[in-house]
Amino acid sequence: MSLNVNTITIVDIKVSSSAEKPIPNRQAPRRGTARQEALRYRLTVLPCRPFNTYSFRVFAVIEKDVVIIGAGASGLMCAATAGYRGRSVLVLEHTAKIGRKILMSGGGRCNFTNLHNGPGNFIGANPHFCRSALGRYPARNFIELVERHGIAYHEKTLGQLFCDDSSRDILQLLLTECEWAGVEIRPEAPVTQVEAIDAAPYRFELHSALGPIRCQSLVIATGGLSIPNGGATPFAYQLAQQFGLKVLATRAGLVPLTLQPADLEHFKPLAGIAHEVETRCGTQHFREALLFTHRGLSGPAILQISSYWQPGQEIEIDLFPGLDLFDWLKTQRETRSKSDIRTALATLMSKRLVHTFCDLWQIQGILAELGNKRLKQIADQFHHWRIKPSGTEGYRTAEVTLGGIDTDEVSSKTMEAERVAGLFFIGECLDVTGHLGGHNFQWAWASGIAAGQTV
């Protein structure tokens, strides 16, 4: 029997009575027993016993320079980079769908990077960790790649770049690059076990749906925990722990906030209304749209601040950012003194919002009857709306996972584990979380490239 150990060869061998009996079957090895022959070819034999026969499913050991677990943004970028360097690369994805989050992203148009991307757009215990990889692969490099593939794109707002057409264009770009680089991608190929081995040049042996796989470099690109029904798993964290790396506590980030029942009763009727605000939590602040929902608060301003919010904390919302509402109300009192304050405010924000907040804070009256002290009080209420969320919507709707593999354990230049040669972690599984606006993909590209240049 001749086997190419670089490809998967599955042979079902039926033996009449014992696994140790010579095999008369023409398909079977010429010499010795099935088990001996299998061992000679370094094959794994998984016996089972249907009725009175033995059946062996025999997998050839797959040998690759690089195995990447996770066919998402960072994994595919890393695969193409390593493939172009002449490395034999196999990408294993446990679901049937490659790049699912890329397809979901940016409302179907993939916000693939941000013109203003920099280390300041990331959250993590070590804020300097992302500096090296981002510096070597900045946003303009990915934009060049997008342009080389003829993908039309536009800036939506705040430097956020989206495809004109579909997220599918970005996934196709990555798949094309992988194809040109000779990368093999296998969907529906879960990995059940990873072991460090001493079989130079191979450092790892994986047990997978494809059988045993040996590789010199192993890259973990399985992402975080958000969208669990889309294929997210804690694989990266578990594997890191298996190899003695520290994993920091994880929580949902870029996620809608839920409200306490009393607040929800008040604001639920506003579901679907958006308004530009500035959200603040600690020293962080974001000026973008807030969206009222049936469960609480969402929209970019809330998603951004959610990554900084801790349970039990209040957030502060300026409902009129960039405006001195006290000055504005005084001017209104001079120019339209007989107007109701609610009517005046309704020229600045939706009437339903005005009524909800004015009912909440008992604001009413003709402008002429409201003194400076009262106008200042009203202005302060709109500029400093403080609310204590009850929680977040969790990983079910979160865009990212905060926390993760401690970056102190990983080289910022190569993404290789400091104490485990050949083991790499890239993308969202690391304790590097970007702001909303294309920063998370930029991290996936940059960390994927950094590892791809080294594996």
Based on the shown chain and the rule CB under 6 A, indicate whether residue 454 belongs to the binding site for ligand FAD. no
Is 422 an interacting residue with respect to ligand FAD (CB under 6 A)?
no
Q: What is the DSSP string of 354-421?
A: HHHHHHHTT--SBGGG--HHHHHHHHHHHHTEEE---EE-GGGT-SEEEEEE-GGGB-TTT-BBTTST
Residue 257 in tokens:
């906030």
With CB under 6 A as the contact rule, the residue among 196, 227, 289, 387 that binds ligand FAD is 227
Q: Which is nearer to ligand FAD, 345 or 436 (CB)?
A: 436
Check residue 75 for interaction with ligand FAD (CB under 6 A). yes
Q: Is the Cβ of residue 138 or residue 321 nearer to ligand FAD in the bound state?
A: 138
Piece in contact with ligand FAD (CB under 6 A), picked from 67-75, 126-134, 301-309, 402-410: 67-75
Taking the C-alpha atoms of residue 129 and residue 447, their distance in angstroms, rounded to an integer, is 11
Instruction: State the Cα–Cα distance between residues 307 and 296, nearest whole angstrom.
Output: 16
Measured from the CB of residue 222, what is the shortest distance to ligand FAD in angstroms?
4
Count Cα atoms within 13 angstroms, Cβ side, for 244.
7
Among 80, 123, 191, 218, binds ligand FAD (CB under 6 A): 191
Q: Quote the tokens at residue 453.
A: 């240049």
Closest contact distance (angstroms) between CB of 231 and ligand FAD is: 3
Out of 399, 406, 409, 431, point to the residue binding ligand FAD (CB under 6 A): 399
**Per CB under 6 A, does 169 bind ligand FAD?**
no
Distances, alpha carbon 171 to alpha carbons 146, 160, 175, 364, 439, in Å: 11, 18, 6, 54, 17
Cβ proximity to ligand FAD: between 227 and 323 the closer is 227
Site string for ligand FAD, 76-115 (x = CB under 6 A): ----------------xxxx----xx--xxx---xx----
Q: Which residues share a beta bridge with 114?
A: 160
| The one segment of 124-132, 217-225, 286-294, 311-319 that binds ligand FAD by CB under 6 A | 217-225
CB of 411 to ligand FAD, least distance (A): 17
Laid out side by side, the sheet with 391-392 consists of 385-387, 315-318, 274-281, 284-292, 296-298, 257-258, 391-392
Q: Which residue is nearest to ligand FAD (CB)?
A: 72
Pairwise CA distance, residues 60 & 214, whole Å: 11
Q: Which of residues 424-453 bind ligand FAD (CB under 6 A)?
A: 427-428, 438-441, 444
- 276-296: buried (b, 16+ CB within 10 Å) or exposed (e) per residue? bbbbbbeeebbbbebbbbebb
HSE at residue 121, side-chain half, CA atoms within 13 A, is 22
Instruction: Report, in Å, the least distance between residue 74 CB and ligand FAD.
Output: 3
CB of 192 to ligand FAD, least distance (A): 9
Nearer CB in complex with ligand FAD: 64/333: 64
Dihedral sign from CA coordinates of 100, 167, 426, 7: positive
Residues that bind ligand FAD (CB under 6 A): 69-75, 92-95, 100-101, 104-106, 110-111, 190-191, 221-223, 226-227, 231-233, 235, 399-400, 427-428, 438-441, 444
